[in-house]
Structure 1
Amino acid sequence: MQLSTLLVHAGRDSDSRKGMVNTPVYRTSTVVFDSMADYRATRGSKFDNVRYGRLGTYTTKELEHLIASLENAYRAVLTPSGVSAITTTLNALALPGSHILVPDNVYFPCREYCEKVLRARGVEVEFYTGSNIASLTRPNTAVVYCESPGSLTMEMQDIKALADAAHEAGAKVVADNTWATPIFFSPFEHGIDVSIHAATKYLGGHSDVMMGTIATVDPDLWLQIRSEAAVQGLAISPDDAYLMARGIRTLGVRMERHYKNGVAMAQWLMAQPKVETVLYPALESSPDHALWQRQMSGASGLMTMALKPCSQEQCDRFIDALSLFSIGASWGGYESLVLPADTAGKRSIASDPYRGPLVRLHIGLENIEDLQADLRQAFEVLD
C-alpha cells in the first residue's frame, strides 16, 4: 500500500467504532471489567490491551498503529514531547558504563541531556562530526545518535555508512526524522534501529499539540523502550492523540507544499544582496546536495540563512520588520516562522564559519510571492 493511502486509512477501525471515520476521544483513567478472569487476561500483555488510562486508550493505540504504519515499523511509542522521545530512548539504551556518539550539531536540548544527565549517570558521551565514525566506536559503544540534516546548520549525514559502522561495533542507531518526515525519508531502509520524531512539528502540523514518537522494527527493542516510558509514568492525553491523528491525515499534501515553497524560497534568498548563503541541502549549491538526493525524496520548509555581516541590533530590526513570519521557537506548522539561529555554546568541535548572523526560517503554506515580498521589505532595514 502506498504511503499516501496509508495516511488516510492506517490507524482507523471504523467498524468497531460504530462507523466513525476518526477514532473517538476516549477519556478515561479507570477501565472496569466484568470478571477477575477478564481483568487477569489483560495483565499478561499490558501494552496491548486497554486496561488503565496511563497505559493508553483506543485513541492512543490507534495513533501508535498509524505512526508505525507510516514508518514501516513494528510498533511505536508515544511520549509527551519530542525531547521526551529523545530522553526516553537514551535512558533505555545508554546504561551506566556505556559509550554513546552524538553529532556535534545535535538539537540543543539533546546535547544538554547528554551533558548534564547521562554523564552524571556514568554514560560516556562523545560528540562527533560527519559520518565516518568507525574509528570512534568502542567495545562499550551502545548508541550512535544521528540527526540529518543537523540542527541550525543543516549538515547531512551518510546514514547508511554510519549505520553500517555502528552495527559492526554492536551499537544501536537512533535517528531524529523530524525534518524529513516519513514522506521524504524511510529510516529503516537505511539501517536505522530507532526513529524519533518531535511530532509537535510536521506530524501534527497545526502548532497546537505537543508530542513525541519513537518507532522501531525490533520487537525486543520496542518493548525495552515502551517499558522505559511506562516506568517513567509517561502518558499522552487522548485529546492530543486525536489532534495528532487528524493532523497526520494531511501530512502528504502539506509536505509537498512545504517542499515546493522551501526550494523556491531558498533559491530566491540566494539571489538577495543581503544574504551570504542559505543552509538547505535541497539547494544545488549545498555541499551536501548529492547526499540529500541519494537519501531523501524531498525536503521540508526549515532552513537557515546567513546574512551578510551586520550587527545583532540590525538583525533584530530585520526580524521585527517581518509581518508574515512570526517570531516563534518551533517549526513544522502551517505558518511561517523566524528566529535567530545562535550556535554559540552549542558546539564542542565545529565552529561557525559564517561572517554574519544566522537566521532560521520555517517556510509555511502561504503564497510564496507574499512571503518573498515580506522578506524583501524587511531586508531594507539592513541598508
Structure 2
Amino acid sequence: MKKENIETILSHDGKKAHSKGAVVPPIYQNSLFTMKDWDDAEQTFDDRINNYIYTRGNNPSVRIVEEKLAKISGGESAKLFGSGMAAISASILSCITSGSHIITVKNIYGPANNLLQNYFKPKFNVDVTYISGIDIKEFEDAIQPNTSLIYLESPSSVILSLQDIEAVVKLAKPKGIKTVIDNTWSSPIFQKPLSLGVDLEIHSCTKYIGGHSDVVAGIVIGSKRDIDNLFTKEFELLGAKIAPFEAWLLLRSLRTLKIRMDQHQKSALAVAQFLESHPKIEKINYPGLKSFPQYELGKKQMTGYGGLMSFQLKTFDLNKIKTFFNNLNLFQIGVSWGGHESLIYAPAISYLKELSKEQFEGMGISLGDIRISIGLENTEDLVDDLYNGLKLI
C-alpha cells in the first residue's frame, strides 16, 4: 500500500477515535477511567504507559494528537505537555544528572537559557558551555568527560543561525551523548531532525502546530524507549499534563498545518525580499534568502522555511525605533509567534530584563534588532504596513 502523504495523515483522525461516525472525535473531558474488574485493573497497571487510568497520565484526546505528530515527524512515540517550556524542561532533565555538562548554542530560546543558567547550574551543579554552533569543531572542542547532552535550536532564536544537525549527531552518538533539538521554527512540515539521528525533538505547540493563538502546549517526540522513560519520570512525576480540550484544539489545528505552513513560507519570503532591499535595513536574518550565510546548509536539512525572521534597523535611536513600532497597523506587538496574525517584537525589551548586559551582547543582539512573525494576512498588505512604518524613521 502506498505511504500516506502528510496532508492525508493530518486530515484524518483514525476510525478508532470516532463515535457513531462523528467526523470530529469527541473531547474526553474526564479525570479518570474505570476498570471492569480486579483482573482488568491489575493488567491496566502492569502497562500504565499504554493504558488509560488517570488523565494526568494518558487521555484519548491527547493520544490522538501524540500519535499524529509522532507519525509526521518520523518518531515512534510522543508526549504532549502543558507548555513548550514543560516539554523543554522534561527533555533536558531526562538527559542529565547532578554534575552533568551540557553543550548548547548561544541563541536558544530565552526561558530555556534561563533554565540552564539560573536553575540547573546552581541547583544541580550542571555546567553549560555556550557556542555559536556554526562550526562542528566548536562542538568537538566543547565536549568534556561528563558531557551528557547537546541541546540544539536550529534555526536559533533571533539571529536564526543553523547547526549542522547530522554532523552533530555523528559526533555525539559514539560518545553516548544525547542530542535534543527545539524544532519549533521549522515545524514537523519543513524539518525532520529525527531522520537525521536526533534523540528528542521538541515543539512549542503554541506556535505553528496550534496556529491560532488560543492554546499553550508542547510536545516531545522520539523513540518509544526514550519517550517511555520520559513518561514514567519527568512527565508523570512532575505533572505537566495538557488538558483534553487543549489537545482537541491542537487536533483541529493539525488539519490545516501543511496549508498554513505553505502560506507562511510564501508570504515570509516576499516580506524578507522587501526588507533585504530597503535602505533603512542594515541586515536581515532569514534562512530562505539566498544571501543568508548558511543558505546551502538550510537547503540540505530543511524542505521549507517558517514565517519568523529578524532584521536590524540602521539606527539605535530608541525614539525612532519606538516610532516605527507604534505606527504599524497590521503587525501587533507580542512575544509569541506562529499564529494566524502577524506580530512584531524587539528582543531587547525582555532579554535585557532576563540576561546580564554581557550575556545579551554575547548573543550578538542589539537594540536595533527586530523580530517579526508573518501571519496569514494578504502579503501586499503586510509589505505596505512595514513600508509605511519605515518611512517614519
- TM-score under structure 2 length normalisation: 0.93
What amino acid is the match of 1:151? S
Aligned pairs for 1:299-378 within 5 A: 299-342=305-348, 344=352, 345=355, 348=359, 351=362, 357-378=368-389
1:168 Cα offset (Å): 2.5
Quick one: distance in 2 between partners of 1:274 and 1:72?
43
Checking the alignment, whether the CA contact within 8 Å between 1:196 and 1:215 is kept in structure 2 is yes
Aligned pairs for 1:283-294 within 5 A: 283-294=289-300
Aligned pairs for 1:56-135 within 5 A: 56-119=58-121, 120-130=123-133, 131-132=135-136, 133-135=139-141
What amino acid is the match of 1:28? N
Using the TM superposition, name which of 300-309 and 93-102 deviates more. 93-102
Aligned residue among 250, 274, 278 for 1:244: 250
Aligned residue among 251, 261, 266 for 2:267: 261
Quick one: distance in 2 between partners of 1:53 and 1:108?
30
1:15 Cα offset (Å): 6.6
- The root-mean-square deviation of aligned C-alpha atoms, in Å, is 1.7
Quick one: distance in 2 between partners of 1:189 and 1:212?
20
For residues 194 and 374 of structure 1, do their structure 2 counterparts lie closer, same or farther at Cα, with a shift above 3 Å needed? same
- Deviations, residues 286-314 of structure 1 (Å, cap 9, x unaligned): 10111111111110100001001241121
Percentage of matched positions with identical amino acids:
34
- TM-score under structure 1 length normalisation: 0.95
Quick one: distance in 1 between partners of 2:367 and 2:222?
41
Checking the alignment, whether the CA contact within 8 Å between 1:308 and 1:355 is kept in structure 2 is no
1:381 Cα offset (Å): 1.6
- Deviations, residues 245-295 of structure 1 (Å, cap 9, x unaligned): 110110000000000001111001111111111111111111011111111
5+ long unaligned stretches in structure 2: none
Using the TM superposition, name which of 174-183 and 138-147 deviates more. 138-147
5+ long unaligned stretches in structure 1: none
Secondary structure of residue in 2 paired with 1:17: coil
- Deviations, residues 63-94 of structure 1 (Å, cap 9, x unaligned): 11111111111110111111111001111111
Aligned residue among 175, 178, 182 for 1:176: 182
Quick one: distance in 2 between partners of 1:289 and 1:136?
25
Aligned residue among 196, 209, 220 for 1:203: 209
Checking the alignment, whether the CA contact within 8 Å between 1:216 and 1:222 is kept in structure 2 is yes
